[in-house]
A and B are shown apart, each in its own frame.
Chain A
C-alpha cells in the first residue's frame, strides 16, 4: 500500500499547505465593514479548472491504489512476469505525440489562431484514437499468443491497467469530441479555448500515468 500512501500524502500535503496559507494569522471573530480584496476566491474563478484538478486527485488515488495492489500481489509465488508486446513502445510514442499535439493546440488557441487550433484538435484526436487502437491490437496480440486475462495474475493486471487507463482516455475523448464539434461548427471561441486547455492538462496527466504503468510493467 506504500504507493497509495505516497500518492495520498502528496495530495494531502498540497491541500494542507494551501489551507495553512488560507487560515494562518486570521481572526475569524473580528467583523469588517467592507470585505477586503484579499478575501477573493483563490483560483480566480475558474470552476472547471478546479473541478478538473480535483478529479485528477481522484484519478491519482484510483491509479495509485491499483499500483499498490499490483506491487502487493506481485510478491505471491504464482506471479510470472509478462513479456510486454513490442507494440507498446510504438503506442507510447503515439501517446506522447498526442500530448505534444494538445500542447501545441493549446498554444495556438491562446493566441486565437482558430484555423490552426482546429487542425491541432483533429491531430490530437487522431493520435489518441491511434493509441487506443494500438492498445487493442496489443491485447489481441497477447490473446493470439495464448496470454489471456486469466492466464496469470500479471496478465490480469496488464489488462486491468491498460483497460482502466483506456476508459479514462475515452472520457477525455468525449470532452475532446464536444470541443471539436463546437470548433468546427463555429461555436464560441472562448469556450473551445477553455476546453482545449483542460484537455491538454488531462492528456498530460494520462500520459504520465501511462509512463508510470509502462515503466512498472517493463521492470517487473
Chain B
C-alpha cells in the first residue's frame, strides 16, 4: 500500500500549497499552473515563428518586392522558424504543456511527484527561450545556419549570425535540454509511481501513453543534441576540430584540422529523427482520445494502439540516416536505413486504420475538437504517404533538396501536430478554464486552417516534382522551371498569409471565452477519463478534494450495451455499471 501513500501524501502536499498571488501564479508548483505557463510561453514563441514564416513566404511569392527581406535575414528567418517550431513550440507544448496538465489528472494523482523540480523546469525553459530571442538583438543577429545547424557553414564566416547568433542558439539548446530533462524525469516518475489505485498501465488513456513514451524518447535522444552542441561550441570558441575540417578562407587558415562534418550529422539526426516522434506520439495519443470521446465509441484495438506507440518509439532510433542519403553513404547502410524507415510504416498504419475503425459506426459529434482530430487523420495520411517516397534512397536523392521535402515534413510534423494541439486545446479548454468557447468561431477557425494549410502544402508537392530547390532565397535564372512555378509560389504565399491571419480567430475565441464564455460543466463531453471527474471545475490545487479517485475500468467504456448512459467513467466500479464487453471492445 506504500504507493497509495505516495499518491495521497497530503502531508507533503501542504508545504507547497500556494499562499500568495506569487506562489499561486508565478513561482507555482501546481502542475496545472505550470502547464499553462508552458503553454502560453510556447504559443508566444510559436506566433513569432509564424510571423517569420510569413516573411519567408513574402519573399518566395513576390521576390525582391520587400526591402526588409534580404538573403541574410531570409536565412535567419528559416533557421529560427524551424528551430522554434520544432523544439520551443511543439516539444514544449506537448510535453511541458499537455504532459504537465494531463498526466496527474488522467492517472488520478494530486500533482507531479517532484513539484519543485517541475517549477524549475518551466523557469529554465523560459530562460532558454529568452536566450534564443536575445539572439535577434545581438550584433549580426540570430544564426542563419538552417535549423539543422550543419557545420562547417554554421560556424564559418559568411553565414549570418556567425559571431553571436550561433553561440546563443547552442547555449539556448543546452539550457532547453536541461529544462526538458528535469520535466521528463518528473513525467516518467509520475506515470510509474503516482497512479491512483486500480490505474494499471493498461488502463491509462492513450494520451498518457503517447506522452509517456515520447518523454522516454526525449530523455534518450536529447543527449545527442547536447553532445553535438557542446562539441560545436568548442569548435567555435576554442577551435577544436571535432566537426570542423581544415578550411582556408582568403588565404587565411581557420586553425582547424580534419574534423568530420558527417559526425555532426550522425549525432544531430540521432536526436533529430526521434524528435519527430517526440512530437508525433503525444499527438497520436491525444487524437485517439478525442476520436473515441466524440465518436462515443471505444478506441479500436487499445492494446494494439499501445504497442504501436512503443514500436514506433523503438524503431525511431534506427532510422536516423535516412536524413543523410544525400550526404553519401555505403549502399548497404542506405538499404538498411530505407528498410527500417519503411518498417515504421507498419505500426503507424495500424494506428491510422484503428482511428478510422474507431469512427466506423460511431455516434460522431462534429464538435470543434472532433473536426481537428479528423482533420489530423487527413493531413497525417498525406504526410505519411510522401514519407514512404522519401524513405527510399533512389527517390529521395532527386527529391531531397526540393520543395517536395518541405511539403512532406510540414504536412506530417507541422500541420498534423498543430491540428492536434488546437483540437486538444478546444477539448480540454472547459476543464482548464471552467468556461466554454464559441463553437461557431471554433468551426471557422478549423475550416480556415484546414483548407488553408492544404492550399499551401498540396501545391508544394508539385513544385518539388518540378524541381524547385528548397532553401533558395531567389530562383534566379533557372530555365528548367516553368513560369507557372512562380504563379504557384505566389498562390502559396497568399494561402500562407490567409492561414496566419486565420489564427486570430483562435485568439479571439480565447478572449471571448474568458470574458463572455458561459460557465462550463465539469464534464461537458460526457467523457470517461478521470480528469473529467474532478470535484471542482477547474480542478483546485490537489485536484481531487479529500479522497483520491479509484480506477475500476479503462478509459473507453462508451456506448456499453445495457447501460443507461453512453459512457461509464473510469471511477465507476463494476457492481454499479456493466463490467464492459466480452471481446476486447473491438465490436
Expressed in whole angstroms, the Cα–Cα distance for A165 and B231 within the complex equals: 15
Expressed in whole angstroms, the Cα–Cα distance for A114 and B199 within the complex equals: 39
**Interface residue A62 (Cβ < 8 Å from any Cβ of B):** yes
By a CB distance below 8 angstroms, the chain B residues around A156 are 234, 240-242
Do the beta carbons of A51 and B113 come within 8 Å of each other? Answer: yes
Interface 1/0s, chain B 239-250, versus A by CB < 8 A?
A: 111100000000
Do the beta carbons of B584 and A27 come within 8 Å of each other? Answer: yes
Partner of A12, one of B201, B314, B550, B584: B314
How many Å from the CB of A6 to the closest CB on chain B?
A: 12
By a CB distance below 8 angstroms, the chain B residues around A76 are 258-260
Do the beta carbons of B2 and A28 come within 8 Å of each other? Answer: no
Interface 1/0s, chain A 1-40, versus B by CB < 8 A?
A: 1001100100110011001001100111111111100011
**Interface residue B48 (Cβ < 8 Å from any Cβ of A):** no
Expressed in whole angstroms, the Cα–Cα distance for A4 and B225 within the complex equals: 13
**Interface residue A190 (Cβ < 8 Å from any Cβ of B):** no
**Interface residue B303 (Cβ < 8 Å from any Cβ of A):** yes
**Interface residue B230 (Cβ < 8 Å from any Cβ of A):** yes
How many Å from the CB of B235 to the closest CB on chain A?
A: 9
Which parts of A40-65 form the interface with B (CB within 8 Å)? 40-47, 50-51, 54-55, 57-59, 61-62, 65
Interface 1/0s, chain B 529-562, versus A by CB < 8 A?
A: 0000000000000000000001111101100000
By a CB distance below 8 angstroms, the chain A residues around B193 are 41, 43, 45-47, 50
How many Å from the CB of A33 to the closest CB on chain B?
A: 5
Decide yes or no: A65 and B270 within 8 Å by CB, A26-B202, A45-B5 being known contacts: yes
**Interface residue B185 (Cβ < 8 Å from any Cβ of A):** yes
How many Å from the CB of B22 to the closest CB on chain A?
A: 25
Do the beta carbons of A35 and B197 come within 8 Å of each other? Answer: yes
By a CB distance below 8 angstroms, the chain B residues around A78 are 241, 257-258
| Chain B: interface residue total (CB-CB under 8 A) | 77
Do the beta carbons of B188 and A72 come within 8 Å of each other? Answer: no
Which parts of A144-187 form the interface with B (CB within 8 Å)? 149-150, 152-153, 156, 160, 164
**Interface residue B394 (Cβ < 8 Å from any Cβ of A):** no
Do the beta carbons of B189 and A51 come within 8 Å of each other? Answer: yes
**Interface residue B263 (Cβ < 8 Å from any Cβ of A):** yes
Expressed in whole angstroms, the Cα–Cα distance for A15 and B216 within the complex equals: 10
**Interface residue A77 (Cβ < 8 Å from any Cβ of B):** yes
By a CB distance below 8 angstroms, the chain B residues around A8 are 220, 317
By a CB distance below 8 angstroms, the chain B residues around A149 are 234, 238, 240
Q: Give chain A's interface residue range (CB within 8 Å of chain B).
A: 35 or more
**Interface residue B382 (Cβ < 8 Å from any Cβ of A):** no
Decide yes or no: A160 and B231 within 8 Å by CB, A29-B584, A45-B6 being known contacts: yes
Do the beta carbons of B267 and A69 come within 8 Å of each other? Answer: yes
Do the beta carbons of B242 and A23 come within 8 Å of each other? Answer: no
How many Å from the CB of B239 to the closest CB on chain A?
A: 5
**Interface residue B171 (Cβ < 8 Å from any Cβ of A):** no
Expressed in whole angstroms, the Cα–Cα distance for A164 and B230 within the complex equals: 10
Most B Cβ at <10 Å: residue of A23, A32, A160: A32
Partner of B194, one of A19, A47, A152: A47
Which residue on A lies nearest to B551, using beta carbons? A35
By a CB distance below 8 angstroms, the chain A residues around B303 are 23, 26, 28
Decide yes or no: A44 and B200 within 8 Å by CB, A19-B310, A35-B552, A156-B234 being known contacts: no
The segment out of B119-127, B433-441, B569-577 that lies at the interface is B569-577
Which residue on A lies nearest to B185, using beta carbons? A51
**Interface residue A113 (Cβ < 8 Å from any Cβ of B):** no
Expressed in whole angstroms, the Cα–Cα distance for A33 and B575 within the complex equals: 6
Decide yes or no: A29 and B585 within 8 Å by CB, A23-B202, A54-B189, A149-B238 being known contacts: yes
By a CB distance below 8 angstroms, the chain A residues around B234 are 149, 156, 160
**Interface residue B447 (Cβ < 8 Å from any Cβ of A):** no
Expressed in whole angstroms, the Cα–Cα distance for A27 and B574 within the complex equals: 14
How many Å from the CB of A35 to the closest CB on chain B?
A: 3
Do the beta carbons of B310 and A32 come within 8 Å of each other? Answer: no
How many Å from the CB of A105 to the closest CB on chain B?
A: 24
Do the beta carbons of A51 and B114 come within 8 Å of each other? Answer: yes
Expressed in whole angstroms, the Cα–Cα distance for A16 and B314 within the complex equals: 9
Expressed in whole angstroms, the Cα–Cα distance for A41 and B192 within the complex equals: 7
By a CB distance below 8 angstroms, the chain A residues around B310 are 16, 19
Query: With contacts A50-B189, A58-B220, A153-B241 known, what are 15 further pairs, Cβ within 8 A?
Result: A22-B202, A26-B303, A29-B584, A30-B580, A31-B557, A31-B572, A32-B579, A41-B3, A43-B193, A47-B6, A47-B114, A51-B185, A55-B181, A61-B220, A66-B227
User: B residues bordering A, Cβ < 8 Å?
Assistant: 1-3, 5-6, 113-114, 181, 184-186, 188-189, 192-195, 197-203, 216, 219-221, 223-224, 226-227, 230-231, 234, 238-242, 255, 257-260, 263, 266-267, 270, 298, 302-303, 306-307, 310, 314, 317-318, 550-554, 556-557, 568, 572-575, 577-581, 584-585
| 12 A-B contact pairs sorted by A residue (CB < 8 Å) | A4-B224, A22-B201, A28-B202, A30-B580, A31-B580, A40-B1, A51-B186, A57-B220, A61-B221, A65-B227, A69-B263, A164-B230
Q: Top 4 closest A-B pairs, CB basis? A: A35-B198, A31-B553, A41-B3, A62-B223
